[in-house]
A = this chain, B = another copy of it.
Amino acid sequence: MRINLGNDPLSSKTEVETVISKIRDLIINRQLEPGDKLPSERALSNKFDASRSQLRLAIQKLEFYGLVKRYPKSGTFVSKIGVGALNSMMANILHLQTPDFKSLVETRLILETKAVKLAAMRRTEKQLYQIEKAHEAYIKKSINGQDALDEDLLFHLKVAEASCNSVINSLMLVITPEIITNFVTKKICDAQNFSSLIKEHQDIVNAIKNNDPDEAIKSLKIHFKDLYNYCHTN
């Protein structure tokens, strides 16, 4: 798993991509139909003249995107998705580029806006407590004039958790660190005084506490005003 957001961790990428490309060709040429069993890893690695390791990495990537399904000791099967869609998705996977920061931020805004709304609707008492705890830690660090980036991150993660939507939570987990690392270099958020930032967080907490989805969204949009501007300008 990883949603490969472009940062490919391992392997001579080109080799894996070659293998994926060849598998795609098999599907396009109808030598391999949706639902079919793939040839064994050994057979394929031989046929493609690639090592089994590289072939496994390729299959792992395909499985991550749900295009094939592995059954241990039994075989790997092409998902029952239309040939056109399979082809298109594989093309997409092959072209995956390291994501531009603007896309990242834009997506974060979407997800977190929804997360904060859902959190206001569904949060349990325990989740609310965790959010409040994170918020307090943020305050504590912040009023000492220290950099509270970590506490800020934790706060937002806890909100995502409280959305009670496992997929949103997962996606936030994936894109958040990417954003963090970019944040250090770019510095979008202008230096507000910390007390206003604390208030913005507090408004979000209150809205979630009061089960007020609309207010929660409104508060978040104020908090992310700079980010919105960053996305919508140029």
Interface residues of A (CB under 8 A from B): 1-10, 60-61, 63-67, 70, 79-85, 88-89, 92-93, 96-97, 99-100, 103-104, 106-107, 110-111, 114, 134, 137, 149-151, 153-154, 157-158, 161, 165-171, 173-178, 180-181, 184
Cα A154 to Cα B67 in complex, Å, equals 14
Consensus secondary structure, chain A interface: helix
Q: Please report the C-alpha to C-alpha distance between residue A95 and residue B111 in the assembled complex, in whole angstroms.
A: 20
Query: A107–B150 Cα gap in the complex (Å)?
Result: 26
Q: A177-B67, A178-B66 are in contact. Are A89 and B9 (CB under 8 A)?
A: no
Q: How far is the CA of A2 from the CA of B63 in the complex (A)?
A: 8
- Say whether B9 contacts A165, CB under 8 Å: no
Contact B166–A99 (Cβ < 8 Å): yes
Docked complex Cα distance between A180 and B175 (Å): 24
**Is B154's CB under 8 angstroms from A1's CB?**
no
Residues in B whose Cβ lies below 8 Å from that of A2: 1-4, 60-61, 63-65
Q: In the assembly, what is the distance between CA of A114 and CA of B107, in Å?
A: 9
Q: What CA separation (Å) do A103 and B114 show in the bound complex?
A: 12
Nearest 8 interchain pairs by C-beta? A82-B150, A1-B2, A2-B64, A66-B177, A3-B3, A1-B4, A107-B167, A103-B167
In the complex, A189→B183 CA distance in Å? 42
Check B107 against A110 for contact (C-beta < 8 Å): no
Q: How far is the CA of A4 from the CA of B64 in the complex (A)?
A: 7
Q: Are A81 and B3 in contact (CB under 8 A)?
A: no
Q: Among the listed B63, B82, B100, B106, which residue makes an inter-chain contact with A153, where contact means beta carbons less than 8 Å apart?
A: B82
Query: Which residue of chain B has its CB nearest to the CB of A161?
Result: B92
* Cβ A170 vs Cβ B4 within 8 A: yes
A104 with B167: CB separation less than 8 A: yes
Q: Report chain B residues within 8 Å CB of A177.
A: 65-67, 79, 81, 89
Q: How far is the CA of A74 from the CA of B9 in the complex (A)?
A: 14
Is B10 in contact with A173, judged by CB distance below 8 angstroms? no
How near does chain B come to A226, taking the closest CB pair, in angstroms? 19
